[in-house]
Structure 1
Amino acid sequence: MMYGTINGLNNEMLLYIIIAMAVLILLAYVIAVVLVVRINNMKKTYKQMMTGSNSVDLEKMLMEHIDKVEKVMEENAEIEADNRHIHNVLKTVIQKVGIVRFSAFKDVGGDLSYAVALLDETNTGIILSSIFSRSSSNTYLKPIDRGNSTYKLSDEEQEALNKAMMCH
């Protein structure tokens, strides 16, 4: 029998085993403390969420939320439909304007005559012309369909049309 050994292990080896076990126990204790803190935080959050609520209240709250979401979705659909309608209407409003002022007669100065082209997105609209002389003033209106008129356009009217079509 050898002196200073326990079942064949010497004291030094036994000391290392005890230290290793102490470190493992300490590590397990730290992990347990961290887990307890996390569980307590989760319990606190859960209690805050459930305060004043029972399963019936939660179900009612969820159903009310679903109703609100459905109403918002319906309102969004209506808004989108309105936006599409407005977008379609805006295509047909006057968006392009071309103006040419000129002197129709040599004896009348000041460029008092004019041609104004008023067009929508598709270059459809009208040309409004006014011819001013010393003794009279005449106004003419000619329809424009996609940049063309079935009526003969004067040079000034054509210039006003070209200016308007260059807009945008």
Structure 2
Amino acid sequence: MDVLKLLGSLHLSVVSGIIIVLLFILLFLYISLFIKLGKLKRRIDVFMKGENGVNIEKLLKSYMSEVETALMKVNDFQKQMDEIVRKLEMSIKKVAIVRYNAFDEVGSDLSFSIALLDDHDDGVVITGIYGRNETTTYAKPIKNGMSNYKLSAEELEVIDKARKKFI
């Protein structure tokens, strides 16, 4: 029986030794992690203080606020630009003029037709007919390059010239 007691106490000593070694290893790992955590905390503190001691979190919130304000302004500018583009499409951009002699006995091409059109070929054609005794001026509305009024050859020519211009 003495042998069994001896083996039991020996076995208990070995187990106790192993546990003590494991405890020292765990203590070493705990201290090592604690040191690394301290270094990481100092780095985070330095980072969070930012430039000139300003807190990065507050700085980011401030920048986000500025970005939101800028986005609102950009959206307002986009709406204004869309309105300007819409108005610009309806402005007169295509202009052409044709001068001619309406009557054989009158020289110097004093009669004229002028077309004033927008991007949609809407606008007006103005014609001035010069004669020796009188001058007559006509204005005819143009929609999509056409008019509800009868157009002369010169008016058709000037509308065609204006439609071909891209400004």
TM-score bracket, normalised by the shorter chain, equals 0.5 to 0.7
Q: Which has the higher helix share?
A: 2
Match of 1:53 in 2: 53
- In structure 2, do the counterparts of structure 1 residues 131 and 79 end up closer, same or farther at CA, with 3 Å as the change threshold? same
> Which structure 2 segments of 5+ residues have no match?
1-42
Write the letter of the residue equivalent to 1:136.
Answer: E
- In structure 2, do the counterparts of structure 1 residues 110 and 95 end up closer, same or farther at CA, with 3 Å as the change threshold? same
Q: Give 1:59 deviation, angstroms.
A: 2.9
User: What is the distance in 2 between the residues matched to 1:105 and 1:120?
Assistant: 31
SS at match of 1:63: helix
Q: Give 1:51 deviation, angstroms.
A: 4.7
Q: Give 1:53 deviation, angstroms.
A: 1.5
Task: Provide the aligned length of Structure 1 versus Structure 2.
Answer: 123
Question: After TM superposition, what 4+ stretches of structure 1 lie above 4 angstroms from structure 2?
Answer: none
User: What is the distance in 1 between the residues matched to 2:82 and 2:106?
Assistant: 49
What is the CA deviation profile of residues 58-93 of structure 1, one whole-angstrom value per residue up to 9, with x for unaligned ones?
332222111110111011111111111111111111
2:78 aligned with 1:93: no
SS at match of 1:110: coil
User: What is the distance in 2 between the residues matched to 1:50 and 1:87?
Assistant: 45
TM-score by length of 1: 0.67
Aligned runs of 1:30-41 on 2, under 5 Å? none
SS at match of 1:70: helix
Match of 2:77 in 1: 79
Match of 2:121 in 1: 123
User: What is the distance in 2 between the residues matched to 1:166 and 1:122?
Assistant: 12
- In structure 2, do the counterparts of structure 1 residues 65 and 51 end up closer, same or farther at CA, with 3 Å as the change threshold? closer
Q: Give 1:142 deviation, angstroms.
A: 0.2
Write the letter of the residue equivalent to 1:119.
Answer: L
CA RMSD across the alignment: 2.1
Q: Give 1:52 deviation, angstroms.
A: 3.1
Aligned runs of 1:137-156 on 2, under 5 Å? 137-156=135-154
User: What is the distance in 1 between the residues matched to 2:149 and 2:116?
Assistant: 16
2:112 aligned with 1:114: yes
> Which structure 1 segments of 5+ residues have no match?
1-42
